[in-house]
Structure 1
Amino acid sequence: MCTERKLTRLDRVFARLDREPERPAHIDVPRMTPHRVVLFAATLAFYGAIVWAVVVTSWLVRLDWQVMFFRPYQQWAEIHAFVDYYVVLGQRGPTAVMVAAWLGWRSWRQHTLRPLLALGVSLLLLNVTVGAAKLGMGRLGPHYATTIGSNEMWLGGDIFPSGHTANAVVTWGILAYLASTPRARRWLSAVSAVTSLGVGMSTVYLGTHWLSDVLLGWAAGLLILLALPWFEPLIARAETWLLDLRDRLRERRAAGASVPVTPVEAPVLVTSRHPVTEDETAAAREAGLAARGPRAPVYLAPGPHTARAERAPGTPTGSRRPPHTERTTRGAASTARPVTGA
């Protein structure tokens, strides 16, 4: 009877994963197409328009103050606890760890470093561009505003643009950017857009950002995603260099483990070519005795010393052999014993 082990659902999942190719050929690398260039230019123009509207204290600044005085966190207090947790989706630390874990698993399965390198490049661009804009414009937040109706620019703040919003756009948008199929890319794009929109409005609800901060944060994150194809050649070169470095380290480790151990040769006794005379032997013996020094004197017990065979085994009380008066010397004539009895 033939018995086969029934595969569980987990076994079927791993069996399906094992059939994946090492480097999937259907995953294309996005290129900077004319359509993407137009979107990048439009987003850059929107970015500049938001900054200009805030600098000149236009209607956008008045809208910021109106929303702040509306105090959404008091109008809808029942959702305050949910928003406190939801806004974590825009924090750089937790989101970066979650997305890096997923992309790391994809890198291991597909034997490529591109997902992790793309995430690293996007986060680096995010820190440089958004951080420079925050420090350069120095806008104060709603909780620290000093003059009603002012734009609060260049006063030492760091909230313009919104870092939570830009981070949500980049971190969740990179999943759509690295999607392997057009269908997955569309679905992930919609999910990342809704998530980043919710994170931005959560900061406005909590009163930590102006509405214009959120608008600029959306534009800043979208600019990074649209500009990533320009960095694809750099990502490819970095991946090639890292894989070559890994191969060299493996070869060096394998070479070090397979080095043969040289056996130690036996010492060779060198003899003189001419025969050694008795005088030379005696001189060498005397030189050896002189090098070792004089020996300690040996003290022997007084009295005559007999050979071991001639001594009887003794005990502290005397000999262990019982006396035998009737024993005669071997070889001597034995005397007849008297016969008793009848």
Structure 2
Amino acid sequence: MDHSINIKKYGFSEIFSSKLSQDSPLEPARVLSQEKGFYRIITDKGEKLAEVSGKFRFQATASSEYPAVGDFVLVNWNASGNSAIIESLLPRKSAFIRKAAGEPQQEQIVAANIDIVFLCMALNNDFNLRRLERYIAIAWDSGATPVVVLTKSDLCDDLENKLTEVSSVAFGVDILVTTSTEENGYKELLPFISDGKTIAFIGSSGVGKSTLINRLLGKEQLKTNGLRNDDKGRHTTTHRELFLLPSGGMVIDTPGMREFGMWDNDTGIEKTFADIETLASLCKFRNCTHTGEPGCAIQKALETGELEADRWQAYQKLKAENDYIEDKESYMAAKGKQEKEISKLIKKMPIRV
């Protein structure tokens, strides 16, 4: 066994070790990357390739039940010792979820067991407050702490105004400003990174996530590309990967994702739009629809300019999207329950010859 590797450095804390059975022959591991059904994992024995067992595959009913980067799993070693079999997945303490395309709705786990989500947005043409609101809402839902990271400040000639705009939508969220043109342009991130902590970098393609991670790693580990002619970055990262930093702590790089669908959880929306939730609580009627009732605090704030129309519309859009998914999930669950009941009744019916 290679004693130079300690899985505790990779975030294997008491939260996860308490889930282990004392007499289990299985060994804990963390998923570093995943590609085409194979997983690169790290254990006290070192780095290995792994795949899920047949039993695991048979019991999984959704893509979100399979291991993702950042997950802790329990593995069995193959007789050769060159690879491992993933037998089970330990419960996640947090998960950044993206709604996968297609029907039925499926969760796509972007990164698991993360402590902080760096929500990266460039201060050039990538700047989009509505998308940032969506990022923040989903980050709160993940169970991790969101931090806004504004990149490429060297390309911004109105930084103060941009910071004011971001502050108006990022309630209770730290906002960091970085640049890749200065040697110490990433130092703002360091106070948030420490031993055993996992940080995921989320953002559109080309915002500079890989550049920041290279600076933290102290070497050009990840490929980066410059700007295209339209002032937007080129996509470079093609898969998710977890890296252990020399100074302690871990970072997860993710492919650029411009759009995220909401999932059925109101918590993130309530935290992200705390200003609107507070205003709504001041309405004269508890069931106010904010469309024309007397004493509506929302309509008053829109008239006075206290609440911007764009922000109100963004809130309504995310709420509607979330409610639609919740209703659809309830319908599918009820339909599934009904089909099971019918199946039971059919099995109990006497067979007539």
TM-score range, shorter chain: under 0.3
TM (norm. structure 1) is 0.24
Between the two structures, name the one with larger relative contact order (CA 8 Å, sep ≥ 6): 1
Greater helix content: 1
TM (norm. structure 2) is 0.23
> Which structure has the bigger radius of gyration?
1
Greater strand content: 2
